[in-house]
Amino acid sequence: MSDTASIRLAHFLAQAGVCSRRQAARLIQAQRVTVNGVVGQHQQRLSLTTTLQVRLDGELIQPLVPAIYWLYHKPVGVDCRLLSDDNSSLLQRLPASNHCYPVGRLDKDSRGLLLITNDGTLTQQLLHPDFDHQKCYQVRVNKSLTADFAQQMMQGLDYGAGLTRPCQVLQLSDQQFSITLTEGKKRQIRRMCRHLGFQVTDLLRTHIGELALGKLAEGCFRALTDAEVARLNQIKQA
């Protein structure tokens, strides 16, 4: 068995955050650790390619999974729901066995920035409306914008799902505008526009907080930089 496919029992306990390797050796020596129901041995190596149930005093030990933080430029036609039997699902584009997921969704007809992670604490912070995290979009509609369009969007609308929060809107061209939201109601931008008599023909998310789509090519992933991860950690601690 290769070293990359196995790990010493004491090392497993240390990596899982239970204790130091030295303390783990003492726990093993005291016969307080079992592997798949059998008392663990000090020199025992665990195969990382098989199912393991390591327990300390009967309590299951969960190995720590390295944190994943990726940006993805979602194309139109990709469904953010993680459906194993749907070829259009984002799940088919994620590396297998990483247990990661998008923070929030873009509907199938929209494109742009997604944050992919396995960090549940961060996800909770970014999605909860009380934290006012901004998401920015560029939107094109099917006809010329009216003089009061931006003002109506900014002050909030009730299209049948309750009053939307005030937001920032900037007209970019005759039929295009940018919008910055601090909430994420289902298909919110499309429904706001429809309420005012417009149909969205293109919707691109460009920013999630300080994370920017930039020059990331459509359909591609990139890992966050150390600086970007540091800023996310600040969000978790807020």
For the question of residue 107 being annotated catalytic, the response is yes
DSSP secondary structure letters along 142-186: SSPPPTTHHHHHHH--BSSS-BPPP-EEEEEETTEEEEEES---T
Q: Apex CA 125: angle with CA 138 and CA 200, to 5°? A: 20
238 burial (CB, 10 Å; 0-12 / 13-18 / 19+) is exposed
- Distance (Å, whole) CA 216 – CA 71: 8
The DSSP 8-state label assigned to residue 82 in this structure reads -
- Identify the CA nearest to 5 among candidates 49, 52, 35, 62: 49
CA dihedral of 17, 20, 25, 27, whole degrees rounded to 10? -60
In whole angstroms, what is the distance from residue 8 CA to residue 2 CA? 12
User: Which of these is catalytic: 3, 57, 86, 107?
Assistant: 107
Distance CA 127, CA 186 (A): 13
Cβ neighbours of residue 123 closer than 8 Å, sequence gap 6 or more = 101, 103, 117
Residues catalogued as catalytic: 107
